[in-house]
Homo-oligomer: A and B are copies of this chain.
Amino acid sequence: MRQAADLNCPPSIDAQQALTRAETLCQQRGARLTELRRRVLEIIWNSATPLGAYTILDMLRDDGRQGAPPTVYRALDFLLAQGLIHRLALLNVFTGCRRPGSHHGGQFLICRDCGRVSELSNPAIDELLRAETDARGFEVLAQTVEILGRCPDCLKEPAHHG
């Protein structure tokens, strides 16, 4: 996977803003953004690409912190519940939410080659999905729209050098 600067994606917040935002939201909700949880969120935001749970665990250990898989998964569960991160089911990785606060199902473009992710926020898609579920009397608990492919930058490359 190549690493690169930024995918031309919708209005996006940066790591610093994300952490500040997370603190505000958790405070308002009476949720405890502990040091561990905050650090996991920071690790996720500092990465150019989404991270797997075990990669995050390695980074926690690099901090000198002790930990095991449950350490990470619990923090991730908290962040997911607070709508601060998303899980990309196609790749089993986690990425920071670009619109925290408004609980929403994710819409993602995931580049197979460089791993970068673009979070969409297309209300028309949400609307159509809501119409489908309403028509069927289906109660929505979680929702994900994931498109795996190749981003413009990687399409410029001669071919897929995987």
Interface residues of A (CB under 8 A from B): 7-8, 89-90, 105, 109, 111-112, 118, 120, 122, 124-125, 128-129, 132-133, 136-152, 155
A109 & B136 in contact (Cβ 8 Å cutoff) = yes
- Chain B residues contacting A120 (CB-CB under 8 Å) are 132
Assuming the contacts A142-B90, A142-B147, asked whether A8 and B125 have C-beta atoms less than 8 A apart, the reply is: no
Q: How far is the CA of A120 from the CA of B129 in the complex (A)?
A: 10
The count of identical subunits is 2
Q: How far is the CA of A7 from the CA of B132 in the complex (A)?
A: 14
- Chain B residues contacting A151 (CB-CB under 8 Å) are 136-138
A105 & B147 in contact (Cβ 8 Å cutoff) = yes
A98–chain B nearest beta-carbon distance, Å: 15
B136 & A118 in contact (Cβ 8 Å cutoff) = yes
Assuming the contacts A128-B125, A129-B125, asked whether A141 and B150 have C-beta atoms less than 8 A apart, the reply is: yes
A89 & B141 in contact (Cβ 8 Å cutoff) = no
A151–chain B nearest beta-carbon distance, Å: 6
